[in-house]
Structure 1
Amino acid sequence: MARTKKVLEELSQRGPHEVLHGDLALVGLPGIVCTPKSGLGLPAVAVGHGWLQPARRYLGLLRHLASWGIVAAAPGTHQSPFASHRLMSSDLATTLDICTQVRLGDGQISVDPKRLGVAGHAMGGGCAILTAATDDRVKAVATMAVTETRPSAIAAAEKITVPGLHLAGEKDLLAPAVSHAEPISTGWAGPVQLRTVKKADHLAFTEGRHWTEIVLHGKPQYRTQRLSRALITAFLLRHLAGDKRGAPVLDADVPGCAIDSEHSREAAAAA
């Protein structure tokens, strides 16, 4: 347990890389991109925002991942009440295209097209699942307070054989795990882990203040942000970069976030 707490604390802190910030709009898509100052053949992740949420509410997460050597980008599209889940999923794939096809920074940054992942909060998590189900470049999926989508993220999960990590909020009234994260995890075709963050509500994973706190459930929680950043960083480092330093965190319960379920349907079938 001491080892787990030490690694959790390390991964919740800023990583060793200096971080650069950019605007995806310069290459044709509104949004934010954060990268390490330099590095070739880096992993990359496209991060989807929650319903009505601007991409800037995930800037801390993007910066954190970049500080650990992962290019992280969040498209700022489909922020209206009538957002298209299908089109947002397509924009996440386009974001990965940008990361792999555009030389970022001053030409000192490039992304390996074989080391790509998707992540997202709420609606963005569901859309990340839709992307992973149709884009075989995606090697890992992480979600926070994931919600069902149209087309169905629950149905799409049955097609995904890459690793998945799903973080649900214990106090989430808008996306209770029993109706969203649990059926997604149960149907997941590949290795998957479901965790519930204690005392976290629906907006606990977001950052800063926003008018949607009036109509949606919850507000940002620093503790939840630190915990989710550490877990997602450990997960993406392992599955996109082959870096296993976060293994003590991923393979055990951590304070405030125990493992609810963990399985691989493929492994079970082979047995």
Structure 2
Amino acid sequence: MASAKQIVSELGRPGPYPVLRGELALVGLPGTVFTPTSGEGLPAVAFGHDWLNPASRYLGLLRHLASWGIVAAAPDTERGPFASHRRLATDLRTALDVCSSVRLGGTARGAAVSVDPRRLGLAGHGMGAGAAVLAASVTAHDTRVQAVGDPYWTSGSDLTVEAVATIALSESRPPAQDAARAVHVPGMHVAFGKDLVAPPAAGAQPVAAAWAGPSVLRTLKKASHLGIVEGKHWSDLVLDGKPEPATNTTVRALLTGFLLHHLAGEKRYADVVDGSVKGTDVRVYRESSTV
């Protein structure tokens, strides 16, 4: 079996599938979706952007996931200074619903692709990571009335999420740590050791510890908060850090392996979740929200 180091090297490169790009705006939700050119019953992930940042700063990451056979959608909403985590979480679930309910892509030479509604995941960076946790905490068919202190904010959903990945998770409202206690699917939490916006001890670590299901915290020791974004944006003046090619490559590999393992059943990528990877520290939490 390949080691985690070998898997990261493999998954850090583009996958074998040609990729198509589409716009979620065609179905009423601003945003972007990348798909392989063909495929039936594919896994899909909705990715949330960081505070103030557009989805366009993650196009390389989305394209990378699609090249490995994962449909990747990113809503381009809630980009203002007073953005709502709850609304972004709702948009992430809407993006998954779109991907799993309509056929995507297709060309004159090939048929459109389809997504298996049993193979859905959520991921995000910074603010988007917190929104992904909030979105995952909504239980299918939950019809309870919201109570004071209850992490839920919606009356119900038919969408079932199978895995969640957070990257440089920052504080959210309501708190992602509270919502994590209601998430029973596997979670991978990637923190950045030089993150001044969302230090691991204040962001990813409490959420990983509170996670109700299997939970892994991996810290990239030399990465800064904006390590995975692409290009320049005016928000660089507000948020600490800058694009880091090495960080981007490692995160792409970790996220791809995690999603392929949990959404596509690729067991050979299991070690990338909690195995030894150069430049990172890893901590595995048990299946208990009290750890």
Smaller-chain TM-score range?
A: over 0.9
> Does the CA-based 8 Å contact 2:130-2:171 persist in structure 1?
yes
Do the aligned partners of residues 53 and 214 (structure 1) sit closer, same or farther apart at CA in structure 2, a change above 3 Å counting? Answer: same
- Report Cα offsets for 1:149-191 as digits up to 9, x if no partner: 1111110001111000011110001100101111101100000
Aligned-pair CA distance for 1:265: 2.9
Distance 1:184 1:88 in 2: 18
- Report Cα offsets for 1:113-138 as digits up to 9, x if no partner: 00000000000000000000005411
**Which residue of structure 2 lines up, in the alignment, with residue 230 of structure 1?**
253
**Which residue of structure 2 lines up, in the alignment, with residue 111 of structure 1?**
115
Aligned-pair CA distance for 1:268: 9.0
Aligned-pair CA distance for 1:267: 10
* Matching of residue 265 in structure 1 with residue 269 in structure 2: no
Which stretch shifts more, 229-238 or 127-136?
127-136
User: Any idea what SS the aligned residue of 1:237 has?
Assistant: helix
Written as runs of structure 1 = structure 2, the 5 A alignment for 1:119-158 is 119-136=123-140, 137-158=160-181
User: Any idea what SS the aligned residue of 1:258 has?
Assistant: strand
- Report Cα offsets for 1:230-261 as digits up to 9, x if no partner: 001000001000012222322312011221x2
> Does the CA-based 8 Å contact 1:252-1:258 persist in structure 2?
no
Taking only the aligned residue pairs, the percentage that are identical comes to 56
* Matching of residue 181 in structure 1 with residue 204 in structure 2: yes
Q: Which runs of 5+ in 1 are unaligned?
A: none
Distance 1:148 1:268 in 2: 20
* Matching of residue 172 in structure 1 with residue 195 in structure 2: yes
**Which residue of structure 2 lines up, in the alignment, with residue 77 of structure 1?**
77
Distance 1:209 1:218 in 2: 11
Q: Give the root-mean-square deviation of aligned CA atoms.
A: 1.6
> Does the CA-based 8 Å contact 2:212-2:289 persist in structure 1?
no
Written as runs of structure 1 = structure 2, the 5 A alignment for 1:241-252 is 241-252=264-275
Distance 1:266 1:216 in 2: 34
Q: Tell me which stretches of 4 or more aligned residues in structure 1 moved more than 4 Å.
A: 266-269
Distance 1:2 1:65 in 2: 20
Amino acid at match of 2:287: R
Residue of structure 1 aligned with 2:183, choices 160, 174, 197: 160
* Matching of residue 54 in structure 1 with residue 54 in structure 2: yes
> Does the CA-based 8 Å contact 2:211-2:289 persist in structure 1?
no
Distance 2:290 2:194 in 1: 32
Distance 1:264 1:101 in 2: 34
TM-score, normalisation: structure 2: 0.89
* Matching of residue 32 in structure 1 with residue 32 in structure 2: yes
- Report Cα offsets for 1:45-78 as digits up to 9, x if no partner: 0000000000011111100110010000000000
Structure number with the higher helix fraction is 1
Aligned-pair CA distance for 1:2: 7.9
> Does the CA-based 8 Å contact 1:115-1:139 persist in structure 2?
yes
User: Any idea what SS the aligned residue of 2:100 has?
Assistant: helix
**Which residue of structure 2 lines up, in the alignment, with residue 42 of structure 1?**
42
> Does the CA-based 8 Å contact 1:205-1:224 persist in structure 2?
yes
Amino acid at match of 1:56: S
Q: Which runs of 5+ in 2 are unaligned?
A: 141-159
Do the aligned partners of residues 242 and 211 (structure 1) sit closer, same or farther apart at CA in structure 2, a change above 3 Å counting? Answer: same
User: Any idea what SS the aligned residue of 1:83 has?
Assistant: coil
**Which residue of structure 1 lines up, in the alignment, with residue 233 of structure 2?**
210
Structure number with the higher strand fraction is 1
User: How many residues are paired up?
Assistant: 268
Distance 1:146 1:194 in 2: 11
Do the aligned partners of residues 67 and 2 (structure 1) sit closer, same or farther apart at CA in structure 2, a change above 3 Å counting? Answer: closer
Distance 2:96 2:80 in 1: 22
